[in-house]
Chain A
Amino acid sequence: MGEQELVELLKSGDEAAFKYMVTSWQDMVYNTALGLVQNEMDAEDVAQDVFVKAWESIEGFKGESKLSTWLYRITVTKSLDFLRSKKRKKRFAYVQSLFGLNDELVVDPPDFVHPGVVSEKKQMSVALFKALNTLPEQQKAAFVLSRIEGLNHKEVSDVMGTTVPAVESLLQRAKLNLRKKLESSYRKDE
């Protein structure tokens, strides 16, 4: 099925076309969300949100980009929204605990191990994912799309709605910041 034909069918509300879209791109959406939110259940929630949003707003898809680019864009937006809302809730729970309104302990999430990392590198990747969480949103998104999804700079720029040089700069800064974080965490542990 060609992409244009698929889009036409989706716009007409064809459920089989929607199922085709979900099964074709579910791993791509889930893997991207997982790289950003670093929790399997949260990533599944985000993936569901992405496809619900895609189904509801397919009318607005003008075909200026590939369907996969459009889905990547929704995934990044939804994942970053999810992280912002999680941060807000955590902050609110902390403030409540200061006033004794919330007795529940604010527990830090366990270390994240991406299921796709090769087994002998899993331990090292835990430190990398932890450092990744400290990056500014745009740097984090560019790094995940490039290193976890394996997109080239042009594809990342299409998803993020920016230029190739801007993506290169984001990735360079991301690597520099990650290196700084990793080195300082090594020194702290030693």
Chain B
Amino acid sequence: MKYNHKHMNKDAERWADDALNSLDGMSRATANPFLYTKIVARIEANAGGWENAARLISRPAFALASLAIFLVINIAVIVKGQQKAENELAQKLNSEQMLASEFMNTQNYQLVEIND
């Protein structure tokens, strides 16, 4: 039994060696002789359509340009928002001033009435 086990291990080692050496003296596999024609056809097919769009989108330049546009839009919105807030404040102050001056006019009118 012990001998059989040892014998089998030797066989397995020899077999593994043979398999590992089975690539010795191998030659290169050759490509299809029409490979170039097929490649050109694929390049031409890729020249239009979605593949181009996908390639464009995946470019770092596209990502940078998108980021720049995003930042410009954000800055524009913030600036416009600030301007609007300033205008509203100015309008509010203006209307308060008008109300105050109207109140003063009313007071004056009442005074005139008492004097009469």
Asked if A47 contacts B13 (CB within 8 A), the reply is no
B29 at the interface (CB under 8 A from A): yes
Known A47-B31, A183-B15; judge A52-B25 contact (CB<8 A): no
Q: Which of B12, B13, B21, B46 has the most CB of A within 10 A?
A: B12
- Name which residue of chain B comes closest to A30, CB basis: B31
Asked if B31 contacts A26 (CB within 8 A), the reply is yes
Q: Which residues of B contact A147 (CB under 8 A)?
A: 23
Describe A's contact surface by its main secondary structure.
Answer: helix
Compute how far the CA of A19 lies from the CA of B35 in the bound complex, rounded to whole angstroms: 10
Compute how far the CA of A44 lies from the CA of B20 in the bound complex, rounded to whole angstroms: 26
B18 at the interface (CB under 8 A from A): yes
- Please give the distance in Å from A60's CB to the nearest CB on chain B: 11
- Please give the distance in Å from B32's CB to the nearest CB on chain A: 6
Compute how far the CA of A118 lies from the CA of B20 in the bound complex, rounded to whole angstroms: 14
Chain A 37-80 per-residue mask, 1 if CB under 8 angstroms from chain B, else 0: 00010011001100110011000000000000000000000000
Q: Which residues of B contact A151 (CB under 8 A)?
A: none
A-B contact count (CB 8 A): 103
Partner of A117, one of B8, B13, B23: B23
Q: Which residues of B contact A167 (CB under 8 A)?
A: none
Describe B's contact surface by its main secondary structure.
Answer: helix
Asked if A47 contacts B16 (CB within 8 A), the reply is no
Asked if A44 contacts B32 (CB within 8 A), the reply is yes
How many B residues face the partner with a CB closer than 8 A?
A: 29
A28 at the interface (CB under 8 A from B): yes
B2 at the interface (CB under 8 A from A): no
Chain A 168-189 per-residue mask, 1 if CB under 8 angstroms from chain B, else 0: 0000000100110011001100
Q: Which residues of B contact A51 (CB under 8 A)?
A: 35, 39
- Name which residue of chain A comes closest to B28, CB basis: A31
Known A52-B42, A148-B23; judge A183-B30 contact (CB<8 A): no
- Please give the distance in Å from B90's CB to the nearest CB on chain A: 56
How many A residues face the partner with a CB closer than 8 A?
A: 42
Chain B 1-17 per-residue mask, 1 if CB under 8 angstroms from chain A, else 0: 00000001001110110
Compute how far the CA of A34 lies from the CA of B24 in the bound complex, rounded to whole angstroms: 17
A114 at the interface (CB under 8 A from B): yes
Asked if B31 contacts A186 (CB within 8 A), the reply is no
Compute how far the CA of A182 lies from the CA of B39 in the bound complex, rounded to whole angstroms: 38
Compute how far the CA of A28 lies from the CA of B46 in the bound complex, rounded to whole angstroms: 24
Chain B 44-88 per-residue mask, 1 if CB under 8 angstroms from chain A, else 0: 001000000001000000000000000000000000000000000
Partner of A187, one of B8, B19, B36: B8
Q: Which residues of B contact A22 (CB under 8 A)?
A: 35-36, 39
Q: Which residues of B contact A27 (CB under 8 A)?
A: 28-31
**Interface positions of A (Cβ within 8 A of B):** 19, 22-23, 26-31, 34, 40, 43-44, 47-48, 51-52, 55-56, 114-118, 121-122, 124-125, 127-128, 131, 147-149, 175, 178-179, 182-183, 186-187, 190
